[in-house]
Amino acid sequence: MVVLVYFVGITGFGLWISRKTKSSSGYFLGERKLPWWVMLGQAFGTGTHAENPVAQAGVTCQLGFATIWYQWKNLLITPFYWLIAPWYRRSECTTVSEMIEQRYGRFLSVVYSVFALAFLIFCQGCMLKGAAKVISVASGGTAISPNMVVAGMTVVFIIYSFFGGLKASAYTDFVQSFLIIVLSFMLIPLGLKMVGGFSGMHQCLPADFFDLYNEKSGVDLFTILMLALNGLVGMSAQPHAISMNATGITERAGRIGQTYGAMVKRFCAIGWGLTGLLTAAMLIQSGKTLADHEMAFGYACRKLLGPGWMGLMVACMLAANMSTCSNLMINAGALFTRDFYKVFLKPRATDRELLVAGRISGLLFTGMGIVYALAVEQVLDAFLFTETISALFGIMFIGGILWRRANRQGAMAATAGACVSFYFSNYLLTCLTSGPADNGSKGLWTAFGRMFDAVANGQACEFLASGKHQLIYPWMAGPFGFSMLTGFLFLIVVSLLTKPESAERTGRFFDKMNHSTDNDQLFDGIKSPSAGECGEDLIFLDLPGWLTAKRWKGFWKRYREDLLGFVIAWAAIGFIIWMAWLIMQIGGAKC
C-alpha cells in the first residue's frame, strides 16, 4: 500500500509539472530556469543510487567505518564542482557532444556521442538491475516481488519523463531527495536501541572499526587520490553534465546545485556507514553471520522494520533510482535528437519535430537499458566501469578547457592511448600467478617487472597468454592511474607535434567561456557581459595562461565568485569530516 501510494503520488506530481512543457528547449533543458533549490535536489537525486547505501553498509559491516572513502571518493574534489559548473552553461549547448564539436570538430563529437549513448544505456540498466537486487535483499525476496516493483518504477518514471522532460525530472528529483535522506538515516535510531546505544556498539566492535581512516580498510591514500581523479575527470565528461550544471536560472544556481547536491550525498554516506556498524554489532550480539557482506543493509531492514515501514524503505530505494533513470532518459533523447537526428537525418526539423524525436528516442534507449539490465550481473563493477570509461573520454574534454593548445589529434590520441593502457595494465595484472602485492602502483610495478623478466627469459608469449580477457575489470587504482598518465601525456605530446586548431575555432570557444550567461536575453542573440566585469572569470580556464601577467591583473575582483565559493565549499567539506569524526567518538572510551 505504501509503495502504491508513492507510485500514484509521484506520477501525479510529475504529470502536473509536465503541463507547461511545450518546446524542445523546455523538454531538454527546462528552459534553463530551474531555481537553485531544484538544482540541488536534482544533483543529489541523480547522483545517488539505491546501491550506494547497500554497498557502503556492507563494506562497513565487514571492515569498519574507514571504508566510507569508497563513497567519499569524490569528497576531496567536490569544491572543484563550483569552479567547473559554469563551463556548461557558457557553452550555450544542449549536449556535451555539442561542446566537443565546438572545441574539436564533428568527428570527435560523433565518437563521443556513440560512447555517451552506450553510457546512458548501461547506467539505466545498472539502475534497474540494482533496484531489483536491493529490494530482493531488503524484503527477504518474499514480501514483495522485485520484478513487479521495478516494472512499476520503470512505467512511472517513463510517464512523467516522456511528457514533462527535464523540468518534471528535476522537480520530482527534488521531492524524491527527501525520501533518499530518510533512507539514509531511518534505520539508525532503531538500530541504536537494539544494540544498547553507541556505548553498546563500541563494546561489541574492534576499536579500529571507528577510525575515520586506516589502511586496514583497503583504501590507502593512493587509492583515494586515484578515485578522486576518476571522479573529477569522469564527471566532467558525463553525458548528463549539461542538465546537472547548465539548467539553472543563473550560473550560481548551477554552481550551488552541483556542489551542494553532492555535499548532501557525502553527508548521507555517514548514515550509510553508521548503519553498517550497527548491523555488525547486531550480528555479533545475536551470534549470526552473513554469507555476503552486502546483505547487511537488507538484514538490518528485516530485523528492524515492520509492515508499512518496510514499504516506506522500498519507496525510498525506488526514489533513489527513479531520480537517476528519469534524468538519463531525457539526456539520451537530447543526445540522439541534437547530435544525430538534427545533424544527419533532418537538419531542418521544426522545434515540434525535435520535441517528438526526443521523447521517442529517450523511450527507445530506456528500453535498451531494460534489455541490458537482464544481462548485467555484477552491478557495482558495472558502475565503476562506466565511470572509468567516462574518465578516459574526459581527458580530451577537460584537457580542451585547461589548455588552449589541445587539438583534435591530441584528443583522439589521448582517448585511444588511455583506453589501450587501461585494458593492457588490467590484463597484465591477471597474468600474475600469485597476484600483485596490492591493486595500486606497487602491484602494477610488480606486473610490469615480471613481464620484463619474461621477455628477458624468452617467455613473453607464455606469460602474456596466461592473462584473462574481460570487458569489465574490477576497478584498481594502479591501472587507472597508469591510463590517466598515458592519456594526458598523449594529449600534450601529440597536440604539440601536430597543427593547432584554427584560431577562429579556439577563439570562439574561449570567448564564450569569458562571458557571463546571467543575462536574460542571452539566448536571443544579445552579447553577454564580460565575466571579469562581474567577478565571474573562470580560474581554471587555460591554465598555462597563468604564466602571463595578464592573468594576475585584478585577481580578486575578476575571480571573486570562483575564489569565495571554492573556500566556502572547503569549509563545508571540513564540517562533514568533523561531524563524521565526532559521531565515531560518541560512546567510546575517550568519552
Cβ distance 98 to 332 under 8 Å? Answer: no
- Within 10 angstroms of residue 187's Cβ, the number of other Cβ atoms is 25
SS (H, E, C) 512-536: HHCECCCCCCHHHCCCCCECHHHCC
* 591 pLDDT higher than 50: no
Q: If you average pLDDT over every residue of the chain, what do you get?
A: 85
Query: What is the enclosing helix (H) or strand (E) of 320?
Result: helix 309-336
Ramachandran area for residue 581 (φ above 0: left; ψ -120 to 50: alpha; else beta): alpha
Mean pLDDT along residues 502-510: 92
- Reported as a pLDDT band with limits 50, 70 and 90, residue 133 is low
- Within 10 angstroms of residue 31's Cβ, the number of other Cβ atoms is 18
pLDDT digits (tens, 9 = 90+) for 507-543: 999 999 998 888 655 445 556 678 888 889 999 888 8
Going by C-alpha positions, the residue among 101, 124, 129 that lies closest to residue 113 is: 101
- pLDDT score of 484: 92
Cβ distance 210 to 588 under 8 Å? Answer: yes
Q: Which of 15-19, 125-129, 256-260 is the least confident region?
A: 125-129
Give the orientation angle of helix 146-185 with respect to helix 309-336, to 10 degrees.
110
- pLDDT score of 589: 57
- pLDDT score of 441: 57
Q: How far apart are the C-alpha atoms of 225 and 435, rounded to whole Å?
A: 23
Going by C-alpha positions, the residue among 325, 357, 402, 393 that lies closest to residue 110 is: 393
Give residue 554's identity as a one-letter amino acid code: G
Mean pLDDT along residues 74-94: 92
Mean pLDDT along residues 44-61: 84
Q: Which of 59-63, 175-179, 407-411, 448-452 is the least confident region?
A: 448-452
Highest average pLDDT, of 16-20, 124-128, 202-206, 323-327, comes from 202-206
Sign of CA dihedral 288, 291, 293, 296: negative
Cβ distance 332 to 118 under 8 Å? Answer: no
Q: How far apart are the C-alpha atoms of 243 and 335, rounded to whole Å?
A: 12
- pLDDT score of 542: 85
Going by C-alpha positions, the residue among 86, 89, 88 that lies closest to residue 562 is: 86
Q: How far apart are the first and last CA of the chain?
A: 44
Mean pLDDT along residues 323-327: 82
* 310 pLDDT higher than 60: yes
pLDDT digits (tens, 9 = 90+) for 251-288: 999 999 999 999 999 999 999 999 999 999 999 998 88
Which residue has better confidence, 190 or 123? 190
Going by C-alpha positions, the residue among 157, 154, 165, 156 that lies closest to residue 19 is: 165
- Reported as a pLDDT band with limits 50, 70 and 90, residue 8 is confident
| H-state helical runs in 237-350 | 241-245, 251-286, 296-304, 309-336
Mean pLDDT along residues 434-462: 71
Q: Which of 33-47, 119-133, 143-157, 399-413 is the least confident region?
A: 143-157
Highest average pLDDT, of 26-30, 368-372, 522-526, comes from 26-30
According to DSSP, the residues that pair with 34 across neighbouring strands are 248
- Reported as a pLDDT band with limits 50, 70 and 90, residue 466 is confident
* 191 pLDDT higher than 80: yes
Mean pLDDT along residues 290-294: 77
Mean pLDDT along residues 27-38: 88
Residue 313, CA atoms < 13 Å, CB-side half-sphere: 29
* 475 pLDDT higher than 60: yes
For the chain, domains (ranges, CATH) are 2-407+563-585 (1.20.1730.10), 414-499 (no CATH)
Cβ distance 538 to 531 under 8 Å? Answer: yes
- Within 10 angstroms of residue 505's Cβ, the number of other Cβ atoms is 16
